[in-house]
Amino acid sequence: MPYLTQLADVARRTGYPVTEVAGWRSRGHGPQPEVQGIVCHHTAGPAGGGDYPSLAVVRDGRPGLSGPLSQFGLGRSGRIYVIAAGRCWHNAPSTSPRHDNSSSIGIEAENNGTQPWPAAQLDAYRRLCAELCREFGLPASRVKAHREVNTAKPDPHSIDMNAFRAAVAALIAGTTGPTWTEKIVRELPLIRLGDDNNDVKTVRGCLFARGTCPPPPTPACQTGWQGG
């Protein structure tokens, strides 16, 4: 398996914002030999310091362990940082042959090891795992906490991994309901260039509510178009 240069596109399918960290396509301890599993981590970084203060450590490593330490970083806001396309040093020794460095992808989520997880970050965590499972043809059971495949590790703290995997499985199966974008595509009437009717006004209202359009003549989105 070569360098996994599709990882940024896979991350974008979550709907969460993606930062491609400069040089990620060729960063790694050689190419990634295979992807049989996904390992979830927390960074044990600082309690404060913004969205992803552990970026430099995950990219460049720390004394005694050279970077990159994982393919992905996950910020407190749910923003996904694509750090490396090759093999990373995120789990050794592994009690599972499908979750060692040569066989799995690592996600380092920003958390100091005790602080509560923001809802958006957890949602992005599950969606990123689901999209990776889809991309590499894996069942949700291949998503493991670091502590489940390395007895010396505590991370990621306080996440019920059985519930986490059940949510990932539902996302893979598409039983969680459509995303906002999918809903819009499905429910919106076809609008043609030059149309000026109530459908156009409603669309303008929704775009304005999302901050992507100037003020519309009608102020509010219709019910049923939000969320998802």
Q: 173: helix, coil or strand?
A: helix
Q: How far is the CB of 39 from Zn ion (least distance, A)?
A: 7
Q: How far is the CB of 94 from Zn ion (least distance, A)?
A: 11
**Region near Zn ion per CB under 5 A, out of 65-73, 138-146, 168-176, 211-219:** 138-146
Interface with Zn ion (CB under 5 A), residue total 3
Between 63 and 102, how does the x/- string for binding to Zn ion read (CB under 5 A)?
----------------------------------------
49 Rama sector, left if φ>0, alpha if ψ -120 to 50, beta otherwise: left
Q: Does 110 bind Zn ion (CB under 5 A)?
A: no
Query: Nearest Cα to 77, choosing from 36, 107, 118?
Result: 118
Cβ density class 104-125: b for 16+ within 10 Å, e for less: bbbbbbbbbeeeebeeebbbbb
Specify the DSSP element, H or E, that contains 105: strand 104-109
Q: How far is the CB of 77 from Zn ion (least distance, A)?
A: 21
**Region near Zn ion per CB under 5 A, out of 39-47, 52-60, 118-126, 197-205:** 39-47
d(CA 180, CA 187): 10
Q: Does 147 bind Zn ion (CB under 5 A)?
A: no
Query: Nearest Cα to 57, choosing from 31, 33, 81?
Result: 81
Residue in 81, 146, 159, 171 binding Zn ion, rule: CB under 5 A: 146
Residue in 10, 27, 41, 43 binding Zn ion, rule: CB under 5 A: 41
Amino acid at 212: T
Site residues, Zn ion (CB under 5 A): 41, 146, 155
